[in-house]
């Protein structure tokens, strides 16, 4: 499609594309072609309205989505013309702004970005300074409380204990120390990227006006997933010209647990009077019966914008419902259907997806898939750049760029072992704290520290000399990959893995992961016009599901294998055949929603997302009983099953459709799931 050929757009899509100025809310139902509308709108603004690419800002939630959006626009109007356009995630947009103007907040421009492991390590160190009745605390839970506060734009001095929980008291004590330490290290965490950018724009009107003038047209994808900090950022940037176009679906808002505010999309017209609202309801993904089921379920939610998905492609087959004896029977029934469908229709394994509410549900299906020699991929788990051996390698690079990054400096100080033990490290740290000088400065001249032996001083001097040498080599910008490989060899990172990992096969896999860092750098160099070590580390810090490595989501989905994943992970994907399993009270809706009295609406939206992943065939299943603590316990069909009209559902054999009343469901759920949270997580 050229920039001027919009003939394949339906009337509502065309209306959204051709909106000129002022606020625009596009309510895009599942499978309604929203990405196409956004990209066509950008192309229309550039080609038909004369808007320069440098004036356009498009914001997404993942690097993959940003990359695909840019590529589509480039196909329409040309790569050269699109070069000045900014298509970015919220975090990478904020990095761009902060790299340019963070000095106004008292930071240096070469700040480090702390990932989860760096944050946890710092929190653990700071918690040692706080004693609450001798209790030990989980650093991740404390960090979550701090992260939640930042996403709600609450700075340390305004943090209030809301639930009188010991973890909140610990967070209240650690949060100010944590922010002070980050600034001392010239570092920020992911939540800071948005919070500090919002603060920068609020406190410095000249900076705000600069970006308002730069970005005259702003487009935001998945607006229903924005939190308070992202909401404020967008309102600030668009507050002058009001040319803000947001695209989203309130029915697919499933991230409330991590701060997403449904009110942002429901109340958009209040925030931007005069908003034009366009509903995209024609679905290009699923059959009519699947859409009818989805519409019937989501209609039970009160807080939503009324819309109903429809398709011009016909009703399709009925939705299948399987009520199985137990989890093993459920897994066998799903395998039978996969075998049958493949034989009858000559399908690939990758045409099938098994979706569940909690990761614990995957076990029975994994075992059955292995037993029947069916290839499968499990989406989820540890990402490439979160692996220890990879983080150790990247830590060296982070210190080369920012010597004040003391979390990573301490990580590599004696790794691999070089004779600077814990006692010596503690003396170095105390000397740094007592004299209020950076640890790196102490390492450069440790001669006046008492009780450091000659061997320790020699080890420190050699470490500093090596780091300074590699810093100079990377600064020359040439042969970066070769320099990295030489650094890995000289510091003995791979040798340390072979020395400390007993299992040779596991050691080889970890060494391959270290080597993959060099491959990632090579890929970065191919894509960037002006590469640098700092730029590579910035990309690493901002990467999401499209990370390199054998476990990346994209590579897994490219295989010919059955896909197992949580419903949360499936958002944005589609499969010809979907099995939505574990449709029971306690799973979907989750027991946490039932036991804590949380609004059930988000669980229903999650069910809606699961249903709308299916293109041709949808199978819903549950079990009459499941094992818990070695004993079989009765299960209750999900209330969402009863919300699907009976004439859309085909129940197989003697597997009866759910008939339990709401009172029976509540009674059984209370009895059967009173302790389920001991074994289940989100």
Please, which pLDDT band fits residue 448 given cuts at 50, 70 and 90? confident
CB 576 within 8 A of CB 617: yes
Residue 423 sits at φ, ψ, to 5 deg, of: -65, -45
pLDDT, greater one: 258 or 567:
567
Distance CA 637, CA 538 (A): 47
Say whether 32 counts as a known binding-site residue.
Answer: yes
State yes or no: pLDDT of 379 exceeds 50.
yes
For residue 355, what are the β-bridge partners? 565, 580
Task: Name the pairing type of β-strands 625-628 and 631-634.
Answer: antiparallel
| 95 and 41 within one domain | yes
Whether 35 has a binding-site annotation, put simply, is: yes
Q: Are residues 118 and 97 in the same domain?
A: no
Secondary structure class of 646 (helix, strand, coil)? helix
Please tell me whether residue 216 adopts helix, strand or coil conformation.
Answer: coil
CATH code, 520: 1.10.486.10
Q: Is residue 67 part of a domain?
A: yes
Domain stop point among 480, 515, 543: 543
In what side-by-side order are the strands of the sheet with 56-60? 86-89, 56-60, 217-220, 244-248, 24-28, 276-280
Q: What average pLDDT does this structure show over 175-187?
A: 94
Q: Is 28 annotated as a binding residue?
A: yes
Asked whether residue 678 is domain-assigned, the answer is: no
Q: Are strands 575-580 and 614-623 parallel, antiparallel or unpaired?
A: parallel
Tokens of 410: 């301490």
Q: Does 605 participate in catalysis according to the annotation?
A: no
CB 48 within 8 A of CB 6: no
Say if residue 546 is exposed, middle or buried (CB neighbours under 10 Å; 0-12, 13-18, 19+). Answer: middle
User: In the prediction, which pLDDT does 547 show?
Assistant: 42
Model pTM score: 0.82
18, 35, 326, 383: which one is catalytic?
A: 35
- Examine residue 680 and state whether it is found in any structural domain, yes or no: no
- Among residues 387, 418, 553, 613, which one is catalytic? 613
In a domain, 293, yes or no: no
pLDDT reading at 6 higher than 80: no
- Asked if 333 and 478 sit in the same domain, the reply is no
Give yes or no: 221 in active site.
yes
pLDDT band at 435; cut points 50, 70, 90: confident
Same domain, 488 and 589: no
Q: What secondary structure, in 3-state letters, does 278-311 show?
A: EEECECCCCCHHHHHHHHHHHCCCCCCCCCCCEC
pLDDT band at 620 (very low <50, low <70, confident <90, very high): very high
Please compute the mean of the pLDDT values over residues 293-305 and round it to a whole number.
95
**Same-domain pairing of 78 and 20:** yes
Quick check: is 613 catalytic? yes
Does one domain contain both 97 and 120?
no
Which of 116-120, 262-266, 334-338, 409-413 shows the lowest per-residue confidence on average (mean pLDDT)?
A: 116-120
Alpha-carbon distance of 16 to 9, in angstroms, equals 10
Residue 304 inside a domain? The answer is no
- Residue 132: which region, alpha, beta or left (left: phi > 0; alpha: psi -120 to 50)? beta
Write out the DSSP string of 335-390: HHHHHHHHHHH---GGGEEEEESSGGGHHHHHHHHHHTT--EEE--S--GGGSHHH
Q: Containing H/E element for 131?
A: none
Distance from the Cα of residue 568 to its chain's centroid: 10
Which two tokens mark 375? 């290839």
Instruction: Give the per-residue pLDDT at 434.
Output: 86
- pLDDT tens, position by position, 481-539: 999 999 999 999 999 998 888 778 788 888 888 888 888 888 788 778 888 999 888 88
The last residue of a domain, from among 234, 263, 280: 280
How many other β-carbons are positioned within 10 Å of the β-carbon of residue 91? 20
Residue 437: give the domain boundaries. Answer: 386-543
Nearest residue to 153 (alpha-carbon basis) of 238, 266, 261, 253: 261
Residue-level pLDDT at 131: 78
Least-confidence region, from 31-35, 50-54, 519-523:
519-523
Q: Which two three-digit tokens encode residue 253?
A: 């808002």
Tell me phi and psi for residue 622, to 5 degrees. -155, 180
CA 364-286-552 angle, to 5 degrees, is: 50
Q: Rg of the chain's alpha carbons, rounded to an integer?
A: 27
Average pLDDT (579-586) is 95
Q: Is 33 annotated as a binding residue?
A: yes
> Sorting pLDDT into bands at 50, 70 and 90, what band is 221?
very high
Q: Catalytic residue at 516?
A: no
Q: Is the pLDDT of residue 550 over 80?
A: no
**Interaxial angle between packed helices 388-401 and 533-542, expressed in degrees from 0 to 180 and rounded to the nearest 10:** 140
| Burial track 134-170 (b if 16+ CB lie within 10 A, e otherwise) | eeebebeebbebbbebbbebbebeebeeeeeeebbbb
Q: Output the pLDDT for position 344.
A: 92
**pLDDT for residue 383:** 61
Q: Which of 12, 13, 34, 304 is an active site residue? A: 34
C-alpha torsion angle, residues 405, 411, 413, 416 (rounded to 10): -140
Say whether both 398 and 462 belong to one domain. yes
**Domain count of the chain?**
4
pLDDT band of 143, cuts 50, 70, 90 = very high
Same domain, 79 and 226: yes
Query: Do 390 and 415 have their domain in common?
Result: yes
Neighbours of 322 (CB within 10 A): 22
Residue 64: per-residue pLDDT: 87
526 plus 425 within the same structural domain: yes
The C-alpha angle 555, 558, 563, rounded to 5 degrees, equals 95
Q: Which of 543, 574, 602 is the last residue of a domain?
A: 543
Whole-angstrom Cα distance, residue 183 to residue 178?
9
Average pLDDT, the chain: 87
Contact 619, 320 (CB under 8 A): yes
Cα three-residue angle 251-252-256, rounded to 5 degrees:
105
DSSP codes joined into one string, 27-94: EE-TTS-HHHHHHHHHHHHHHTS---GGGEEEEESSHHHHHHHHHHHHHHH-HHHHTT-EEEEHHHHH
Q: Is 120 annotated as a binding residue?
A: no
Contact partners, residue 321, CB within 8 Å, separation at least 6: 619, 620, 621, 641, 649, 650, 651, 652, 655, 657
Q: What is the per-residue pLDDT for 477?
A: 62
- What integer is the mean pLDDT of 41-58? 94
Q: With cut-offs at 50, 70 and 90, classify the pLDDT of residue 597.
A: low
In a domain? residue 550: no
Is residue 510 located within the same domain as residue 436? yes
185: β partners: none
Task: Say how many C-beta atoms besides its own lie within 10 A of residue 186's C-beta.
Answer: 20
Residue 343 lies in a domain: yes
**Per-residue pLDDT, 130:** 85
* C-beta of residue 32 within 8 angstroms of C-beta of residue 280: yes
Residue 628 has what pLDDT?
67
For residue 30, say whether it is annotated as part of any ligand binding site.
yes
Q: Any idea how long the chain is?
A: 682
Q: Give yes or no for residue 671 having a pLDDT over 80.
A: no
Residues 6+ apart with CB under 8 A from 519: 548
Which of residues 581 and 437 earns the better pLDDT score?
581
Q: Which of 118, 125, 191, 221 is catalytic?
A: 221
388-417 burial: b if 16+ Cβ within 10 Å, else e? ebbbbbbbbbbbbbbbbbbbbbbbbbbbee
Crossing angle for the helix pair 504-527 and 493-500, to the nearest 10 degrees: 160
Q: Which helix (H) or strand (E) holds 615?
A: strand 614-623
Residue 612: give its domain's CATH number. 3.40.50.300
Q: Which one is catalytic: 101, 168, 191, 222? A: 222
DSSP 3-state of 120: helix
Distance CA 363, CA 647 (A): 33
Q: What is the pLDDT of residue 675?
A: 30
- DSSP states of 325-350: SSHHHHHHHHHHHHHHHHHHH---GG
Q: Confidence band (pLDDT; 50, 70, 90) for 117? A: confident
Report percent pLDDT > 70 for the chain.
Answer: 91
Residue 415 lies in a domain: yes
Of 39, 224, 226, 252, which one is the catalytic site residue? Answer: 252
**Is 425 marked as a binding-site residue?**
no
Measured CA to CA, the distance from residue 292 to residue 314 in angstroms comes to 11
DSSP 8-state assignment for residue 580: E
Residue with tokens 């819903």: 620
Same domain, yes or no, for 177 and 260? no
Q: What are 625-664's pLDDT values in tens digits?
A: 987 656 778 999 999 999 999 999 987 644 344 444 444 4
- pLDDT at residue 667, as a whole number: 43
């Amino acid at each position: 499609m050229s920039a001027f050929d919009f003939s394949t757009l339906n009337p509502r899509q065309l209306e959204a594309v051709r909106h000129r100025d002022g606020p625009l809310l596009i309510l895009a139902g599942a499978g309604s072609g929203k990405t196409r509308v956004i990209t066509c709108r950008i192309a229309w603004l550039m080609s038909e309205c004369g808007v320069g690419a440098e004036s356009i800002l498009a914001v997404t939630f993942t690097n993959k989505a940003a990359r695909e959006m840019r590529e589509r626009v480039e196909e329409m109007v040309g790569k050269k013309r699109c070069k000045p356009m900014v298509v970015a995630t919220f975090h990478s947009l904020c990095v761009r702004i902060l790299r340019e103007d963070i000095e106004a907040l008292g930071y240096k421009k070469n700040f480090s970005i702390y990932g989860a492991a760096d944050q946890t390590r710092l929190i653990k160190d700071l918690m040692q300074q706080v004693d609450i009745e001798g209790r030990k605390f989980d650093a991740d839970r404390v960090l979550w409380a701090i992260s939640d506060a930042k996403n709600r734009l609450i700075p340390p001095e305004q943090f209030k204990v809301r639930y009188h929980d010991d973890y909140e008291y610990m967070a209240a004590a650690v949060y100010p120390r944590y922010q002070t330490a980050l600034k001392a290290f010239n570092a920020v965490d992911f939540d800071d990227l948005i919070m500090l950018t919002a603060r920068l724009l609020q406190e410095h009107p000249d900076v705000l006006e600069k970006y308002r003038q730069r970005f005259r047209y702003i487009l935001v994808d998945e607006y229903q997933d924005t939190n308070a900090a992202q909401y404020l950022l967008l309102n600030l940037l668009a507050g002058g010209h009001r040319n803000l176009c947001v695209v989203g679906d309130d029915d697919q808002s499933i991230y409330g647990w991590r701060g997403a505010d449904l009110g942002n999309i429901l109340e958009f017209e209040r925030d931007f009077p005069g908003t034009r609202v366009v509903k995209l309801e024609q679905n290009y993904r699923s059959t009519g019966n699947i859409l009818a089921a989805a519409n019937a379920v989501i209609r039970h939610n009160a807080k939503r914008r009324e819309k109903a998905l429809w398709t011009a492609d016909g009703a399709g087959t009925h939705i299948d419902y399987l009520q199985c004896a137990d989890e093993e029977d459920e897994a066998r029934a799903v395998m039978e259907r996969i075998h049958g469908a493949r034989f009858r229709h000559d399908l690939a394994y990758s045409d099938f997806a098994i979706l569940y509410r909690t990761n614990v549900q995957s076990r029975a299906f994994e075992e059955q898939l292995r037993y029947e020699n069916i290839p499968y991929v499990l989406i989820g788990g540890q990402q490439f750049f979160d692996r220890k051996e990879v983080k150790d390698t990247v830590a060296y690079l982070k210190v080369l760029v920012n010597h004040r990054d003391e979390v990573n400096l301490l990580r590599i100080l004696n790794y691999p072992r070089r004779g600077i033990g814990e006692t010596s490290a503690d003396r170095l740290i105390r000397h740094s704290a007592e004299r209020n000088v950076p640890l790196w400065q102490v390492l450069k001249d440790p001669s006046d520290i008492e009780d450091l032996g000659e061997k320790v001083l020699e080890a420190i001097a050699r470490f500093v000399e090596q780091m300074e040498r590699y810093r100079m080599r990377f600064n020359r910008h040439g042969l970066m990959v070769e320099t990295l490989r030489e650094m890995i060899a000289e510091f003995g990172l791979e040798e340390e893995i072979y020395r400390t990992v007993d299992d040779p096969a596991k050691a080889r896999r970890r060494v391959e992961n270290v080597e993959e860092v060099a491959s990632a750098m090579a890929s970065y160099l191919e894509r960037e016009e002006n590469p640098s070590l700092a730029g590579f580390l910035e990309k690493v810090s901002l990467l999401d599901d499209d990370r390199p490595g054998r476990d990346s989501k994209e590579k897994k989905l490219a295989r010919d294998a059955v896909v197992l994943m949580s419903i949360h992970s499936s958002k944005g994907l589609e499969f010809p055949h979907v099995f939505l399993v574990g449709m029971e009270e306690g799973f979907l809706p989750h027991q946490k929603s039932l036991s804590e009295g949380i609004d059930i609406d988000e669980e229903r939206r999650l069910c809606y997302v699961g249903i709308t992943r299916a293109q041709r065939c949808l199978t819903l299943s549950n079990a009459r009983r499941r094992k818990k603590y070695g004993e079989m316990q009765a299960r209750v069909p999900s209330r969402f099953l009863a919300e699907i009209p009976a004439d859309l559902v085909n129940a197989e054999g003697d597997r009866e459709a759910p008939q339990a009343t709401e009172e029976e469901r509540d009674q059984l759920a209370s009895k059967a799931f009173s302790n389920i949270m001991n074994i289940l997580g989100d």
